Amino acid sequence: MSWRTKPKVAWLREQAGVTEDEPLASRTSFGIGGPADFFVEIGRAQAIEKLIEGCREREIPYLLLGAGTNLLIADRGVEGVVIRVVNREHEVEGTRVKAGAGLKMMRLARIVADAGLRGFEFAIGVPGTVGGAVYQNAGCWGKELSEVLVEVAGYVPGSGATVWKPSELKLGYRTSALREGALKGALVVSATLQLDRGDGEVAKQLMAKLTRERGETQPIKTKNCGSVFKNPPGDSAGRLVQAAGLKGLRQGAAVVSPLHGNFIVNDGGATAKDVKRLIERIQAEVRRRFGAQLETEVELVGRWT
């Protein structure tokens, strides 16, 4: 049964800043996906908490959106309300930094380098927000957020504001209890990181070098969702896709990047259906050739059926 009753729609329409049938494609790094039934962008944590509590009470589906990376939104859009989390405040105290969930990881990497802190350089290769990085324990160059994370302030609808220790978040390789466990639907408000005192200029030089290298191996100037697949244990999804001869494979306007096999590029007007079909073709061929099962890192959301 649909959630869409008159009183629920009326309640959503009363909420500040809410729009209807809002296009989402431009709010994703892929540039793909249909509209949100309802959409709102909120920077104040308390306002987000109030809204998701109201949704829970009314059984209205909601989706928390950050920078829209690592996401494939269905062509038929997203049911209920999409809440874009844009709280971007940050506070450096000694070697600790507390950052709002809506702050971009790359921006935070520069902020902490400016503050003379080290140990967060890897974040210059992570395209999403702090909230998204907690949600899937984002990482790059062999480092993950979990290695610097001290605590996370959050909100669990039905139970209230809370502070999680990293162990409570069950952080794994590109996953957490927020993505796949008991905390699904909970909000990340901010994350506190423990870094090291050091030379910020050296950090910036390292980040510049890492960015250059990333530009040589990944199609960073294209519309994409980051890595499509998780690396299978002890192997690399990109290597497997290349070995299966699938670089350049096309489905509509979705193409396997000729530069890196674990990227699918929106070549202009690709649909979510194109990308999903291409993912399935890659999985089938890699399974047939090497017996390896590629699991998606990108998250498929919205109305797929």
Tokens of 154: 């959050």
Site string for ligand EPU, 245-284 (x = CB under 6 A): ---------------xxx----------------------
Least gap, CB of 73 to ligand EPU (angstroms): 17
Counting every residue written for the chain, the total comes to 305
In this structure, what are the phi and psi dihedrals at residue 215, rounded to the nearest 5 degrees?
A: -65, -25
Tokens of 232: 């299978």
Contacting residue, 140, 171, 188, 279, with ligand EPU by CB under 6 A: 140
Site for ligand EPU contains 121 (CB under 6 A): no
For residue 227, indicate whether it is catalytic.
Answer: yes
Least gap, CB of 205 to ligand EPU (angstroms): 18
Distance of CA 143 to the CA centre of its chain: 17
Contacts of residue 87, defined as CB under 8 A and 6 or more positions apart, other chains included, come to 42, 43, 44, 45, 48, 100, 101, 102, 103, 189, 190
| Segment interacting with ligand EPU, rule: CB under 6 A, options 6-14, 105-113, 160-168, 232-240 | 232-240
Contacting residue, 227, 251, 271, 283, with ligand EPU by CB under 6 A: 227
Give CA–CA dist 259/248, Å, rounded. 9
Site for ligand EPU contains 141 (CB under 6 A): yes
Active-site residue among 29, 190, 227, 257?
A: 227
| Segment interacting with ligand EPU, rule: CB under 6 A, options 24-32, 158-166, 234-242, 275-283 | 234-242
Tell me the number of residues near ligand EPU by CB under 6 A: 17
Site string for ligand EPU, 87-116 (x = CB under 6 A): ------------------------------
Give CA–CA dist 38/119, Å, rounded. 39
Active-site residue among 22, 79, 144, 297?
A: 297
- Residue 32 · residue 271 · CB < 8 Å: yes
Torsional sign, CA 122, 128, 134, 137:
negative
Site for ligand EPU contains 217 (CB under 6 A): yes
Task: Residue 105: name the closest of 186, 210, 197 by CA.
Answer: 210
| Segment interacting with ligand EPU, rule: CB under 6 A, options 8-16, 100-108, 224-232, 267-275 | 224-232
Site for ligand EPU contains 242 (CB under 6 A): yes
Contacting residue, 35, 66, 80, 125, with ligand EPU by CB under 6 A: 125
Torsion-angle region of residue 46: left (phi > 0), alpha (psi -120 to 50) or beta? Answer: alpha
Tokens of 48: 């987000």
Q: Are strands 196-197 and 117-118 parallel, antiparallel or unpaired?
A: antiparallel
Site for ligand EPU contains 223 (CB under 6 A): no
Least gap, CB of 158 to ligand EPU (angstroms): 31
- Residue 253 · residue 296 · CB < 8 Å: no
Measured from the CB atom, the residue of 99 and 241 that comes closer to ligand EPU is 241
Give CA–CA dist 64/287, Å, rounded. 33
Q: Report the interhelical angle of 200-217 vs 105-114 (nearest 10°).
A: 150
Measured from the CB atom, the residue of 245 and 269 that comes closer to ligand EPU is 245
Active-site residue among 49, 174, 190, 257?
A: 174
- Positions marked catalytic: 174, 227, 297
Contact residues toward ligand EPU (CB under 6 A) are 125, 140-141, 217, 226-227, 230-231, 236-239, 242, 260-262, 297
